[in-house]
Structure 1
């Protein structure tokens, strides 16, 4: 809130990490799905639906 009011500087430090790696699953799930066959996706779909 202090940044929005101008009472504090907006200093964002770049830690050198890939931004998409910071968000869990942002890149991994899509890549995994691309590499899987339809049969493989059908096999894991019920497990995901039960979570």
Structure 2
């Protein structure tokens, strides 16, 4: 990923240049990944019972 692309992704997430001093590159990339997953529809969503079995 290039620096301009990283800055573009940050702006799209609403992160200011000043705020980038407080975040790691990995955290920003994780936030971008989660944002892209927001529209995904899962066939099955885990319940509390599933977590208890785990």
Same fold (TM over 0.5): no
Which structure is higher in helix share? 2
Whichever of the two has the greater Rg, that structure is 1
TM-score of the two chains, using structure 2 as the length reference: 0.29
TM-score of the two chains, using structure 1 as the length reference: 0.30
Structure with the bigger RCO (C-alpha within 8 Å, sep 6+) is 2
